[in-house]
Structure 1
Amino acid sequence: MTANPASQPTPGQSTPSQPAPGAHIELESLPNLRDIGGYPITGGGRVRTGVLYRSAALSRLSPADADALQRRDIRTIFDFRTEVERTAQPDVVPDGMHVVLADVLADAASAAPDEMLEAIKDPLRASQLLAGDQTAAIFDETYRQIVSSDSALAAYRSFFTDIADPANRPALFHCTSGKDRTGWAAAALLLLLGVDEADVFHDYELTNQYLPRSAAAMIKKFTDGGGDPSTLTPVLGVDPKYLRAALTEMTSRFGSITGYFRDGLGMEDDAQDTLRAALTA
């Protein structure tokens, strides 16, 4: 799915004062970093900028890039990863920032997409894991869990409730690669705020531009080890059919985006209105 050309600027297009919605923030040690603001809202207005950022994990954050985050006045970091992921690659947390742990897949047998990311260190294992149609099945099931499992609902309830409080903003949220658990958080929020669905899919798919660029060395090592680089596509990118599966699960379980926030996350209409007021202008 592509973005609505009437409402969506060219990706990367910017002015000195107002970058285009979804523009990549270039920090060498923090992949897939962007402000989720700037998107137009149906009926008028835009999502606020400088308030909420999404990224991959901060496990390789350099001192210079930590300073860059501090200059954006980020107060809170929301970490959607499992305990296993956090232990293996703990975040580097800049001074003055508070971390909130919100383990989306705590109920799942595994954090499958990011286990795939770990598996590509071994080209043979990756080729076996990513063979045939099983990759699509794994991602499809993971996205359904992201929407409706008990741990996911608890994690996203904490996240959305916390970011409504100005004391916790500006904030940054992430998982390991910043594309699946993070992608759903961004998509659900943008839909609630009134962003056109085409623009929501556009924001989701920007990962396909941003994440592979930061993984060039990983891809080369994989290829040099005898791996087929085409098998990395589902690991280093996103597919709109997975977000569509999440939306189908949401509609089936909760009826609509407002039903998801109300019945799934326990955020009544007034809490949803507070979130909209905080993040739109």
Structure 2
Amino acid sequence: MSITPPVGSPISVASVPNLRDAGGYSAAGGSVVRRGILYRSTDLGAVTDDDAAVLEGLGIATVFDLRTVAEREVRPDRIPAGAKEVPLDVLADRDPSAAPAMMLKLLEDPVLAEQALGGSEASGHLLSSYREFVSMPSAVTAYRALYTDLARGFDAPVLIHCTTGKDRTGWAVAALLLLLGVEEDVVFTEYLLTNEQLLPALQPVFDRFRDAGGNPDILLPLLGVRREYLEAALTEMQASFGGVENYFTRGLGLGVGDVDALRERLLSRD
């Protein structure tokens, strides 16, 4: 007899950390977010043969890649056999010098990292990024396409990812769960699971940084997630649109029919 794992449990795929099902959460009106439909993770650039079989076992039919063009070129996905890939560059309008590629330079250079991250700059950078997820034109375009595809007959199950699966992906999943009627505190709990499921896999990064003479603690704001990051996006959403429903309709331009379809497809009332 199969046992359903607890909601939010990590799926053990060593080359794809931070992989989990975003379903199983209680939502409005006694409904539940369907399991086995919506997954989230890091990129698929290092998938091994054994792990590829595990991913294929999930039945993933569509992979939404929220990374920049440069990120995809450096580390192209190995998508599950038979799946289609949909690239959606959330940060296309971002200054390239502030793009995720800059993060890689910081991880390799403790002196540069100390200059950039030694104070509150890392947190400030992430707070700004999360506000941009709500309002930056390329983010609006990317998230509109994502949710529209999910509403209009997408091939499921789907996997949403960026590079570390924590920020661009974190907002994508958090906003959707809120729209589906999941309580905000529960959405924060799901979001913060990344600290448990991603950071241990990044221990070699912290170790290399320490070995190069750096203080690994300064990387935590950059490589982990914090409640205030998601709060920044929610505050921006509230100030600009007055709530999650208006964010989807006025901010992203989804029709009422698409919003209804998202709820119909992703919620179970059994």
* TM band (smaller chain): over 0.9
Paired position in structure 2 for 1:226: 213
Report the secondary structure of 1:190's partner residue. Answer: helix
Paired position in structure 2 for 1:119: 106
Change (3 A) 1:118 1:44: farther
How far, CA to CA, are the matches of 1:257 and 1:113 in structure 2? 27
Report the secondary structure of 2:67's partner residue. Answer: coil
Paired position in structure 1 for 2:189: 202
Q: Give runs of aligned pairs for residues 89-238 of structure 1, distance below 5 A.
A: 89-110=75-96, 112=99, 115-238=102-225
Residue type of the partner of 2:113?
A
CA contact (8 A) 2:65 2:162 kept: yes
How far, CA to CA, are the matches of 2:217 and 2:2 in structure 1? 37
Q: Cα deviations across residues 87-129 of structure 1 (Å, max 9, x unaligned)? A: 1111112321111010001011145456324421222222222
Paired position in structure 2 for 1:86: 72
Q: Cα deviations across residues 133-187 of structure 1 (Å, max 9, x unaligned)? A: 2112211111111111111011001111112234421000111100000000000
How far, CA to CA, are the matches of 2:171 and 2:16 in structure 1? 19
Deviation at 1:43, TM superposition (A): 2.5
Report the secondary structure of 1:103's partner residue. Answer: coil
How far, CA to CA, are the matches of 2:151 and 2:55 in structure 1? 20
Residue type of the partner of 2:35?
T
**% identity of equivalent residues:** 47
How far, CA to CA, are the matches of 2:120 and 2:46 in structure 1? 32
Taking structure 1 as the reference length, what is the TM-score of the superposition? Answer: 0.91
Higher helix share: 2
Q: Cα deviations across residues 5-26 of structure 1 (Å, max 9, x unaligned)? A: xxxxxxxxxx943222211111
1:34 and 2:34 are equivalent in the alignment: no
How far, CA to CA, are the matches of 2:129 and 2:146 in structure 1? 19
How far, CA to CA, are the matches of 2:101 and 2:31 in structure 1? 36
Residue type of the partner of 2:233?
A
Report the secondary structure of 1:23's partner residue. Answer: coil
Residue type of the partner of 2:122?
T
How far, CA to CA, are the matches of 2:135 and 2:12 in structure 1? 33
How far, CA to CA, are the matches of 1:200 and 1:113 in structure 2? 25
How far, CA to CA, are the matches of 1:115 and 1:125 in structure 2? 10
- Per mean C-alpha deviation after superposition, the further-off stretch among 28-37 and 59-68 is 59-68
CA contact (8 A) 1:112 1:142 kept: no
Paired position in structure 1 for 2:238: 251
Change (3 A) 1:116 1:32: same
Residue type of the partner of 1:89?
R
Paired position in structure 2 for 1:59: 45
| Superposition RMSD in Å | 1.5
Deviation at 1:214, TM superposition (A): 0.7
Change (3 A) 1:87 1:248: same
Report the secondary structure of 1:139's partner residue. Answer: helix
Matched residue count: 267
1:268 and 2:255 are equivalent in the alignment: yes
Residue type of the partner of 2:167?
D
Q: Cα deviations across residues 174-208 of structure 1 (Å, max 9, x unaligned)? A: 11100000000000000000000000000110111
Deviation at 1:34, TM superposition (A): 0.4
Residue type of the partner of 1:204?
Y
Unaligned 5+ residue runs, structure 2? Answer: none
How far, CA to CA, are the matches of 1:91 and 1:119 in structure 2? 23
- Per mean C-alpha deviation after superposition, the further-off stretch among 197-206 and 137-146 is 137-146
Which residue, out of 57, 82, 96, partners 1:71?
A: 57
How far, CA to CA, are the matches of 1:118 and 1:65 in structure 2? 28
